[in-house]
Structures are given as structure tokens and as C-alpha cells.
């Protein structure tokens, strides 16, 4: 029988091995799953502008009322992110993502039979949105686990799925709507959402230990100290059976709670840098989702033919893909601090959106779509990487959930605020102005975060002297 010292050493070696990100290997399949999840969630949301025009006309609704469908879905994705993280900790990432895929399908199919906007809010907004939350959050977290040195590039490649699916689905949705109406097109989309279940099947945990991890690792992760578990075990063996079962059950509950706490770490709200970055997320979300929703309607209002209008989304998606891959590669070179690169792209994105109302012809709108897609891709390719740098990869799962929850207010209010301005001004261009201003404001929080990082680095250098 192995000595306690020897077996403990073996466990430590196994633990360190399983926690080391491979930066490749099976990680490429995790990346593929995340690529498809990005496309079948946020890619579908961006392409939903095709349905927007049809639903807006069918129910004779206002721009504000119709925009709530997308905004509720976006907000539900954000609000459901912490729950998705907690459920993944309790069960498994694979099971949670597969259930999310089923919910996404059911919500979209049920939405095809909606008789009013409220039913679309419930089905496509809440039900499908929650299904998206269950698929997106666990998958993105696993990419962070499987990649370390290549993390910026991995996140950029994974998020590229949003661009490619948007490029493919926007003309496809228009074709389906023309042939089968928006209800028939939504039924087809519901079937496509089942591919999220396939993405869940691809997920495999990086760390699957069958024994308790060593004391040092458990204490760092917030679990019960190993000696406390030993005392519980000794107590259960040395007392009556009933008391022993109660102690063992208490220990299991405490262990489960500590495991879930790693994914729902409420202490993050006391982290000033995390909260500043979350405020960036709120204002950025105000401007992120409105342009994609209103680009096709804006082009139609300028007299652009419907297939040319949908082609603008495809143009934007191609440049979005280019921006994600190229600037993800640039981020991997670490030429400048990640937060500085993000600040520059956010400011550029705001400026591009402010210039959009100047475009009226197809060629001018195509130029805008190209610039918007390129800078948007440069922005979203690294914002998750910056979050990992703010909180550390060990807390990424929990931080991602809380970040999405806090950001949900921006995702919920962005499209309706833009829609309200559009209704009041009778001009879709005002929606782009609102989005541009929101993004410029969000950049101010990134500048504050950069200053906080500088002060923290200065204090660290003084401490080593």
C-alpha cells in the first residue's frame, strides 16, 4: 500500500497535469463547439433584422415594440449567465449546453405560432434567450480553460462563428421569408437551433479528477481544508452511525457549495477593477446590439432594395470576421496592453456609428457596413480576454456570469431606446447616433481601468523594492 506522502504526491502531480491548458489537442474541438455556439446564438440575433421588418409590418407595431423581442432575448442571455455557470458546476457543461439547445429550439418553434408581440416576447425573447444563456456561457468558459498562451487568438476564432453564421443566415432568412413567410422561416430556424445540442456533445471537461484534490489546491479554490474533511471523516467513524451520516452529509453539502461558489463568486462585486469593467460592458451593450437590428430597416427606408439591404449585413459579417481574426492575432503579439487596444477600437466603433446617418445610397451604406464590421470585430475579439486579465482565469467562469448579468441592463435597454428615438424622430438614423454616443461613454470606463492598472503595477513595483 502506498504511503500517505507518496499517494499525496501522485495526486498533486495529477491535479497539476489536468489543470494545465493544452493550448491545442482536444481544445480545437472545444473551439469548434464555441464557434458554432457563437453563430447559432449571437449570429442569429444579428441576422434577426430580416424578421424585424416582417413582424413589424405583420402586427402593425411600433419600432419600439418590435425591438423588445431582440432586447429581451439579449437581456435574458446576460441575466441567465450566472445560472448557467452554477448549473454547469453542479451538473456538467455538456448537459447544460444540450438542454439550452432544446430550449432554444422550442422557443423559436413556439414563436412561429405567436398571435401577438407579447407571445413573441415570451417565446423568442425569454425562452430562446434563456436557452442561449445555457449554451453560450459554459462553452466560452471551457475555451478559457483549454487555452492560455493562445487565448486571445482562440477567443477571436471562436467568436468568428457569429460573423460567418450572420453572413450565411441573413440572405437565407430573406429567402425563407419570401417563400414561406416569417412563420415558416422561424420554424426552419427552430430546427437549426438543435445543432446547439451537437455542440454540447463535443464538450469534455479539462479536469475530471476522481479523488479529492490536494489541500493546497482546494484551499486556493475556496473548498474545505483537507484536514477539516479528515476530521469529519474521523468523527463519522468514531461516533454513532446517525451522527456520522449527518456529518458526512454536511461535509458533502459544504463541498458542493464551495464548488458552486467558484462559479457564482459574489465577492467579485468588491473588486473595483471588475466593477469598472462591468460598467464599460453596460454602456457598450447599449450600442452593440441596436445597429445590427436597424441596419436593414434603415437601408430600406433609404430606398435600398430588400436583397441589397440584407447584403449589407453579409458585408458587415465578412469584415467582422476579418477584424476578429486579424486583431485577435495582433492581441496575441502583446504589442500594447490589451485594455489599450480595446479602448482604441471602442472609440473608433463609436465614431463610425455616429457617421452612419450620412450614408444614403447602397454604396455609401456598403462602405459604412465594411467599416462597422471591421471595427466591431476588432472590439469583440478581445473583450473576454481583457476580462480574464482583470479577474484571473481561475475566476473567469464566475466573472463571465456576473459580467453578463450586470451588462444585461444595457442589452435590454439599447434597442428599445433606439426604437423610441426612431419613433419620435421618424428616422432610423437616430438609432445609430444613440449607439455611437453610448460606445464613446463606455470607452471612458476603459480609460479609468487603464489608470487603475497603472497604479496597481506601480504599487507592486514599490513592494518588491
Residues 353, 391: Cα–Cα separation, whole Å:
31
Q: Which of 43-47, 244-248, 358-362, 403-407 has the highest mean pLDDT?
A: 358-362
| For the chain, domain boundaries | 20-205+264-457
Q: How confident is the model at residue 233 (pLDDT cuts 50, 70, 90)?
A: very low
Instruction: Please say whether the dihedral angle defined by the alpha carbons of residues 63, 65, 67 and 71, taken in this order, is positive or negative.
Output: positive
| Higher-scoring residue by pLDDT: 210, 443 | 443
Query: What was the pLDDT predicted at 217?
Result: 38
Exposed / middle / buried, residue 238 (Cβ in 10 Å: 0-12, 13-18, 19+): exposed
Contacts of 123-128 with C-beta under 8 Å, sequence gap 24+, read 124/69, 124/73, 124/186, 125/68, 125/69, 125/70, 125/71, 125/72, 125/73, 125/76, 126/72, 126/73, 126/76, 127/103, 128/73, 128/103, 128/104, 128/193
Q: What Rg do the C-alpha atoms of the chain give, in angstroms?
A: 24
Cβ-Cβ contacts under 8 Å for 26 (sequence gap 6 or more): 146, 204
CB-CB neighbours of 415 under 10 Å: 32
Query: What was the pLDDT predicted at 406?
Result: 83
Contacts of 206-209 with C-beta under 8 Å, sequence gap 24+, read 206/18, 206/19, 206/21, 206/22, 206/142, 206/145, 206/146, 207/15, 207/18, 207/19, 207/145, 208/18, 209/14, 209/15, 209/18
Q: Is the pLDDT of residue 164 over 80?
A: yes
Query: What was the pLDDT predicted at 114?
Result: 93
CB-CB neighbours of 295 under 10 Å: 26
Q: Which three cell numbers stand for residue 449?
A: 481601468
Give the pLDDT confidence of 126-162 residue by residue, as tens digits: 999 999 999 998 998 888 888 877 777 787 788 888 8
Q: How confident is the model at residue 259 (pLDDT cuts 50, 70, 90)?
A: low
Q: How confident is the model at residue 261 (pLDDT cuts 50, 70, 90)?
A: low
CA distances from 278 to 107, 137, 369, 399 (A): 29, 16, 27, 10
For the chain, what is the largest distance between any 2 Cα atoms, rounded to a whole number of angstroms?
A: 83
Give the three-state DSSP class for 385.
helix
Cα-to-chain-centroid distance, residue 331: 19
DSSP 223-263: ---HHHHHHHHHHHHHS-HHHHHHHHHHHHHHHHHHHHHTT
Residues 299, 416: Cα–Cα separation, whole Å:
19
Q: Helices 338-355 and 429-464 sit at what angle, rounded to 10 degrees? A: 170
User: In whole numbers, what is the pLDDT of the chain averaged over residues?
Assistant: 81
Residues 368, 362: Cα–Cα separation, whole Å:
10
State percent of the chain over pLDDT 90: 33
Exposed / middle / buried, residue 266 (Cβ in 10 Å: 0-12, 13-18, 19+): exposed
Give the pLDDT confidence of 419-431 residue by residue, as tens digits: 888 888 888 889 8
Q: Which three cell numbers stand for residue 124?
A: 423568442
Residues 400, 262: Cα–Cα separation, whole Å:
12
Query: What was the pLDDT predicted at 133?
Result: 92
Residues 464, 368: Cα–Cα separation, whole Å:
50
Angle at the Cα of 118 (from 113 to 123), degrees rounded to 5? 55
Residues 106, 350: Cα–Cα separation, whole Å:
36
Q: Is the pLDDT of residue 350 over 50?
A: yes
- Closest alpha carbon to 202 in 109, 101, 103: 101
CB-CB neighbours of 246 under 10 Å: 14
Q: Is the pLDDT of residue 349 over 90?
A: yes
Q: What is the dihedral of CA 363, 382, 397, 391, to 10 degrees?
A: -140
Q: Which three cell numbers stand for residue 262?
A: 467558484
Mean pLDDT over residues 343-353, rounded?
94
Mean pLDDT over residues 197-221, rounded?
60
Residues 243, 236: Cα–Cα separation, whole Å:
7
- Closest alpha carbon to 416 in 120, 123, 65, 128: 65
Element (H, E) at 120: helix 117-120
Give the pLDDT confidence of 427-464 residue by residue, as tens digits: 888 989 999 999 999 999 999 999 998 888 777 666 65
Q: Which three cell numbers stand for residue 421?
A: 428615438
Residues 232, 234: Cα–Cα separation, whole Å:
6
Q: What is the dihedral of CA 249, 255, 258, 259, to 10 degrees?
A: -120
In this prediction the pTM is 0.69
CATH, range 20-205+264-457: 1.20.1250.20
Give the pLDDT confidence of 266-279 residue by residue, as tens digits: 678 888 999 999 99
Q: Which three cell numbers stand for residue 387?
A: 476580462
Query: What was the pLDDT predicted at 1?
Result: 44
Give the pLDDT confidence of 379-398 residue by residue, as tens digits: 888 887 888 888 887 777 77
Query: What was the pLDDT predicted at 219?
Result: 41
Mean pLDDT over residues 84-109, rounded?
91
Amino acid at each position: 500500500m502506498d504511503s500517505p506522502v507518496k499517494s499525496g504526491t501522485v495526486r498533486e502531480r495529477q491535479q497539476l497535469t489536468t489543470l494545465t491548458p493544452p493550448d491545442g489537442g482536444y481544445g480545437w474541438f472545444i473551439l469548434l463547439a464555441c464557434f458554432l455556439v457563437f453563430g447559432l446564438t449571437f449570429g442569429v440575433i444579428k441576422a434577426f433584422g430580416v424578421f424585424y421588418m416582417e413582424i413589424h409590418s405583420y402586427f402593425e407595431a411600433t419600432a419600439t415594440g418590435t425591438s423588445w423581442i431582440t432586447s429581451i432575448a439579449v437581456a435574458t442571455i446576460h441575466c441567465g449567465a450566472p445560472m448557467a455557470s452554477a448549473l454547469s458546476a453542479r451538473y456538467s457543461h455538456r448537459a447544460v449546453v444540450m438542454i439550452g439547445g432544446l430550449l432554444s429550439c422550442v422557443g423559436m418553434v413556439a414563436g412561429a405560432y405567436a398571435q401577438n408581440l407579447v407571445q413573441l416576447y415570451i417565446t423568442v425573447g425569454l425562452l430562446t434567450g434563456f436557452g442561449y444563456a445555457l449554451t453560450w456561457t459554459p462553452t466560452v468558459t471551457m475555451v478559457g480553460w483549454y487555452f492560455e498562451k493562445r487565448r486571445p487568438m482562440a477567443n477571436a476564432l471562436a467568436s468568428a462563428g457569429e460573423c460567418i453564421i450572420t453572413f450565411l443566415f441573413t440572405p437565407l432568412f430573406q429567402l425563407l421569408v419570401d417563400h414561406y413567410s416569417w412563420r415558416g422561416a422561424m420554424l426552419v430556424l427552430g430546427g437549426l437551433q438543435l445543432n446547439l445540442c451537437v455542440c454540447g456533445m463535443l464538450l469534455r471537461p479539462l479536469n475530471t479528477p476522481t479523488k479529492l484534490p490536494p489541500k493546497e489546491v482546494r484551499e486556493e479554490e475556496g473548498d474545505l481544508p483537507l484536514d477539516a474533511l479528515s476530521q469529519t471523516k474521523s468523527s463519522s467513524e468514531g461516533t454513532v452511525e446517525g451522527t456520522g451520516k449527518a456529518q458526512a452529509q454536511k461535509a458533502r453539502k459544504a463541498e458542493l457549495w464551495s464548488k458552486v461558489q467558484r462559479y457564482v463568486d459574489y465577492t467579485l462585486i468588491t473588486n473595483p477593477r471588475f466593477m469598472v469593467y462591468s460598467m464599460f460592458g453596460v454602456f457598450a451593450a447599449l450600442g452593440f446590439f441596436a445597429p445590427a437590428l436597424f441596419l436593414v430597416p434603415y437601408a430600406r427606408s433609404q430606398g435600398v432594395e430588400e436583397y441589397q439591404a440584407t447584403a449589407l449585413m453579409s458585408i458587415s459579417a465578412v469584415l467582422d470576421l476579418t477584424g476578429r481574426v486579424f486583431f485577435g492575432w495582433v492581441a496575441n503579439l502583446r504589442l500594447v496592453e490589451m485594455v489599450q487596444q480595446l479602448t482604441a477600437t471602442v472609440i473608433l466603433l463609436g465614431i463610425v456609428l455616429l457617421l452612419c446617418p450620412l450614408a444614403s445610397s447602397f454604396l455609401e451604406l456598403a462602405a459604412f457596413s465594411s467599416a462597422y464590421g471591421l471595427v466591431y470585430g476588432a472590439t469583440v475579439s478581445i473583450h473576454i480576454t481583457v476580462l480574464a486579465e482583470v479577474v484571473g482565469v481561475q475566476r473567469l467562469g464566475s466573472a463571465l456570469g456576473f459580467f453578463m448579468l450586470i451588462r444585461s441592463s444595457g442589452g435590454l435597454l439599447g434597442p428599445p431606446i433606439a426604437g423610441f428615438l426612431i419613433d419620435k424622430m421618424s428616422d432610423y438614423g437616430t438609432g445609430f447616433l444613440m449607439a455611437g454616443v453610448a460606445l464613446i461613454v463606455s470607452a471612458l470606463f476603459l480609460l479609468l481601468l487603464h489608470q487603475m492598472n497603472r497604479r496597481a503595477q506601480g504599487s507592486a513595483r514599490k513592494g518588491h523594492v
